[in-house]
């Protein structure tokens, strides 16, 4: 199957930084034992748990609760997302129901795996979900979300595969006064493509998609997110941090579209990159397309190195250089992870980032 993959090419503007060669190579890898115990991948958080191994639901390590496992084919025009049909998971919450601490773990041993997901929150329903990607191979995922009026969804996604590739497609409809927050951390050795299309369909809707991509060696990670405001008084936030070491590349493309009638939109884009080595690359591409005339859209994009004055300040107080670099880099990344609501989850993500920094610096 992988030999006939029809993948997007860098000739397409939206895929210009995408590392499809790494994806293809990951899809072609021969499965091998990862040596990872699935139980070690779940955080110490109470709630439903689902384990997918090579894209197949593993009931022995799962307790799905209200999360259903089902086979389906999501409707999407996205070139990678459209491949993610088959066995997946569905969370559907009734009005005012709260379900927190849901964990979905994807463990790969090589080759390719496809898992679709659907999240449907009725009015004022609340859910928090943590997703973890570990192992190797090509993990291809699509998550389609629908948030009704007043619903709230908090997702935290950690990509810690040792190698291979993770491609994630998020498609969301955010209704009136509903809130969607998705925070990603790329802190493994894999290639990454995080692709988002969020649409704010109701008055006063809020959507946030952001996180941190940490790359080293010759690794490439990227995120490409488009947020579309279709209703009045909506607000959105895209706060991404990229840290690139050695000869790696981290790329961020963030787009905000404001429809003609979506007045009083408040959009924020903050894309910042940190180069740990001169041979590393950070690509940033903020985009605004605004047709309404009463909007506030702030965007900033900066790439730089560690602040040498701050580095010396820390050293002058006794902190060794490598530790000072780690502290400053961690502070740079922490801002993007601070939006994760559950303290235990946020701490786990920060620990992942810390481990990455210790290895990279």
Partner 1 sequence: MLTITDLRAEIDGKEILKGLSLTVNAGEVHAIMGPNGAGKSTLGYVLGGRPNYEATGGSVTFGGEDLLDMDAHARAAAGLFLGFQYPVEIPGISNVQFLREALNSQRRARGEAPLSGGEFLKLARAQADALGMDQEMLKRPVNVGFSGGEKKRNEMVQMGILGPRLAILDETDSGLDIDALKAVGDGINRIMRAPDKAVILITHYQRLLDYVQPDFVHVLEAGRITRTGGPELALQLEREGYGVAA
Site map for partner 1, 138-177, x if CB under 8 A? Answer: ----------------------------------------
Closest distance of CB 73 from partner 1, Å: 43
Closest distance of CB 325 from partner 1, Å: 12
Q: Which is nearer to partner 1, 61 or 272 (CB)?
A: 272
Q: Which is nearer to partner 1, 75 or 307 (CB)?
A: 307
Q: Parallel, antiparallel, or unpaired: how do β-strands 165-174 and 152-159 relate?
A: unpaired
Q: Which is nearer to partner 1, 171 or 352 (CB)?
A: 352
* Residue in 331, 351, 358, 359 binding partner 1, rule: CB under 8 A: 331
H helix and E strand count, the chain: 5, 17
Closest distance of CB 334 from partner 1, Å: 5
Closest distance of CB 215 from partner 1, Å: 20
* Residue in 61, 152, 237, 330 binding partner 1, rule: CB under 8 A: 330
List of residues 6+ apart from 92 with CB closer than 8 A? 66, 68, 118, 119, 120, 122
Exposed e or buried b per residue across 189-203, where buried means at least 16 C-beta atoms within 10 angstroms of its C-beta? bbbbbbbbbbbbbbe
Closest distance of CB 342 from partner 1, Å: 20
* Residue in 5, 292, 327, 344 binding partner 1, rule: CB under 8 A: 327
- Nearest alpha carbon to residue 35 among 139, 109, 112: 109
Cβ contact 252:223 at 8 Å: yes
- # residues contacting partner 1 (CB under 8 A): 23
Q: Parallel, antiparallel, or unpaired: how do β-strands 126-147 and 165-174 relate?
A: parallel
Closest distance of CB 330 from partner 1, Å: 8
C-alpha to C-alpha distance for 82 and 202, rounded to whole angstroms: 26
C-alpha to C-alpha distance for 189 and 33, rounded to whole angstroms: 17
Continuous H helices in the chain: 20-27, 38-41, 308-316, 321-337, 343-360
Q: Which is nearer to partner 1, 278 or 317 (CB)?
A: 317
Q: Which is nearer to partner 1, 82 or 315 (CB)?
A: 315
C-alpha to C-alpha distance for 269 and 182, rounded to whole angstroms: 14
Closest distance of CB 297 from partner 1, Å: 23
Q: What is the CA radius of gyration of the chain?
A: 20
Q: Which is nearer to partner 1, 3 or 316 (CB)?
A: 316
Closest distance of CB 356 from partner 1, Å: 16
Among positions 264-323, residues that touch partner 1 (CB under 8 A) are 307-310, 312-321, 323
Per DSSP, 58 falls in state -
Among positions 108-137, residues that touch partner 1 (CB under 8 A) are none
Count of C-beta atoms within a 10 Å radius of residue 351? 11
Segment near partner 1 (CB under 8 A), from 39-47, 166-174, 289-297, 329-337? 329-337
- Residues making contact with partner 1 (CB under 8 A): 307-310, 312-321, 323-324, 327-328, 330-332, 334-335
């Amino acid at each position: 199957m992988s030999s006939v993959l029809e993948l997007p090419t860098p000739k397409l503007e939206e895929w210009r930084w995408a590392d499809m060669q790494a994806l293809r190579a990951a899809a072609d890898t021969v499965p091998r034992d990862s040596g990872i115990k699935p139980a070690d991948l779940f955080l110490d958080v109470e709630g439903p748990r689902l384990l997918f191994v090579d894209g197949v639901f593993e009931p022995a390590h799962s307790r799905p609760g209200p999360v259903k496992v089902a086979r389906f084919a999501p409707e999407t025009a996205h070139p990678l997302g459209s491949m993610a049909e088959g066995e997946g998971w569905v969370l559907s919450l009734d009005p005012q129901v709260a379900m927190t601490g849901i964990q979905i773990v994807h463990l790969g041993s090589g080759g390719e795996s496809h898992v679709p997901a659907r999240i449907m929150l009725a009015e004022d329903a609340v859910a928090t979900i943590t997703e973890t990607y570990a192992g190797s191979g090509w993990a291809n995922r699509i998550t389609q979300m629908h948030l009704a009026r007043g619903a709230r969804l908090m997702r935290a996604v950690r990509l810690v595969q040792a190698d291979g590739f993770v491609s994630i497609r998020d498609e969301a409809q955010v209704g009136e006064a509903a809130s969607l927050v998705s925070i990603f951390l790329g802190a493994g050795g894999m290639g990454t493509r995080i692709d988002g299309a969020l649409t704010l369909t109701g008055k006063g809707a809020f959507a946030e998609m952001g996180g941190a991509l940490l790359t080293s060696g010759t690794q490439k990670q990227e995120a490409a997110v488009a947020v579309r405001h279709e209703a009045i008084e909506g607000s959105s936030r895209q706060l991404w941090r990229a840290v690139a070491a050695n000869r790696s590349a981290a790329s961020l493309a963030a787009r905000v579209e404001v429809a003609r009638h979506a007045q009083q939109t408040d959009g924020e884009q903050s894309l910042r990159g940190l180069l740990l080595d001169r041979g590393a690359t950070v690509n940033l591409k903020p985009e605004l397309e605004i047709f309404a005339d009463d909007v506030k859209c702030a965007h900033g994009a900066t790439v730089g190195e560690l602040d040498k004055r701050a580095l010396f300040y820390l050293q002058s107080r006794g902190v060794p250089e490598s530790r000072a670099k780690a502290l400053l880099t961690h502070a740079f990344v922490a801002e993007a992870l601070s939006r994760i609501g559950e303290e235990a989850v946020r701490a786990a993500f920060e620990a992942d980032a810390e481990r990455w920094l210790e290895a990279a610096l």
